[in-house]
């Protein structure tokens, strides 16, 4: 399974990707997570990306394409993956297409998660993750079953992203509409686009995505 989750910040791409990882056993390839790891580890890429990310702008295509190209060569991605937050520009979409076709692979589907802008600020301002396992939570809509304890791994430590604030969100949304939303037409023209209602309950969105996956034609490439 090779899937792209497309949608504005706060659409639920990460939450849905985690569920798909559990169900289908393929890794979530989040370029945001990879870049945040690079920043944390103080790598050359991290140093170049940090200020851009803090401002809510997009990191260069060159950097992002390079980290994705390395990542999809790792053994756990051989059976497939879920792209979360990639591609994010037309140039990245072209690069992703070339990368995959060079390996005899193709995308099965691109799933657009549709959400109204006015809910995005609330969703983003309230979200946080487990600092140990990365499970996602929200102050009002998705709290841990036991307050302060991660449902998945029992950790007591949680963290919030520095770019999850109202001001940076504005820039991130502008970047989405300017750079990323043209991918909707791009993948529609390739017959790959499917849309789900990201305003629905989390479980319902998962059901819609799974229905799309069951219907998507699987490519015959190695390990599909
Ligand atoms: P995300 O976790 O997907 O919201 O990404 C967080 C930030 O990382 C974005 O606001 C960008 O600065 C950067 N980023 C993540 N993925 C990409 C990408 N595919 N292209 C450019 N910048 C990206």
**89-147: pLDDT as tens digits:** 999 999 999 999 998 899 999 999 999 988 888 888 899 999 999 888 999 888 999 99
Q: pLDDT above 90 covers what percent of the chain? A: 77
SS3 for 88?
Answer: coil
- Burial per residue of 50-77, b for 16 or more beta-carbon CB atoms within 10 angstroms, e otherwise: beebeebebbebebbbebbeebbeeeeb
- Measured between its terminal Cα atoms, the distance across the chain in Å is 6
Cα-based distances in Å from 89 to 36, 60, 158, 175, 217:
19, 10, 31, 9, 25
How far apart are the CA of 58 and the centre of ligand 1, in A? 6
CA dist., res. 16 & res. 137, Å (int): 12
The reported pLDDT for the residue numbered 218 is 61
Shortest-distance Cα residue to atom 2 of ligand 1:
32
The reported pLDDT for the residue numbered 214 is 85
Nearest to 137 by CA among 112, 164, 104, 159: 159
How far apart are the CA of 82 and the centre of ligand 1, in A? 15
With a cut of 70, say whether residue 36 has pLDDT above it.
Answer: yes
Please give the average per-residue pLDDT across 18-31, as a whole number: 93
Q: Is 93 in the pocket of ligand 1 (CB under 6 A)?
A: no
Question: Which tens digits make up the pLDDT trace of 77-102?
Answer: 998 999 999 999 999 999 999 999 99
With a cut of 50, say whether residue 221 has pLDDT above it.
Answer: no
The reported pLDDT for the residue numbered 220 is 39
Catalytic positions are: 13, 88, 127, 161, 172
Q: Is 64 in the pocket of ligand 1 (CB under 6 A)?
A: yes
Question: Which tens digits make up the pLDDT trace of 152-184?
Answer: 999 999 999 888 888 898 899 999 999 999 999
Nearest to 35 by CA among 56, 8, 15: 56
How far apart are the CA of 86 and the centre of ligand 1, in A? 8
Please give the average per-residue pLDDT across 44-60, as a whole number: 95
Q: Is 32 in the pocket of ligand 1 (CB under 6 A)?
A: yes
Question: How confident is the prediction for the chain on average, in pLDDT?
Answer: 92
């Amino acid at each position: 399974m090779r899937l792209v989750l497309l949608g504005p910040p706060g659409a639920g791409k990460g939450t849905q990707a985690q569920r798909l990882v559990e169900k289908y056993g393929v890794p979530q390839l989040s370029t945001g997570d990879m870049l945040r790891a690079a920043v944390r580890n103080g790598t050359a890429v991290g140093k170049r990306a940090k200020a851009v990310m803090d401002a809510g702008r997009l990191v260069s295509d060159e950097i992002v394409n390079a980290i994705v190209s390395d990542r999809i060569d790792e053994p756990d991605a051989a059976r497939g993956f879920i792209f979360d937050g990639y591609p994010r520009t037309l140039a990245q979409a072209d690069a992703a297409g070339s990368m995959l076709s060079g390996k005899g692979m193709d995308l099965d589907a691109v799933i657009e998660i549709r959400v109204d802008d006015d809910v995005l600020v609330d969703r983003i301002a309230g979200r946080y993750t487990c600092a140990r396992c990365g499970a996602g939570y929200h102050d009002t809509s998705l709290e841990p079953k036991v307050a302060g304890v991660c449902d998945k791994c029992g950790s007591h430590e949680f963290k919030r992203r520095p770019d999850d604030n109202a001001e940076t969100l504005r820039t991130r949304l502008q970047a989405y509409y300017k750079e990323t939303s043209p991918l909707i037409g791009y993948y529609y023209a390739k017959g790959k686009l499917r849309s789900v209602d990201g305003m629905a309950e989390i479980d319902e969105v998962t059901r819609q995505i799974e229905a799309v996956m069951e219907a998507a034609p699987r490519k015959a490439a190695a390990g599909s």
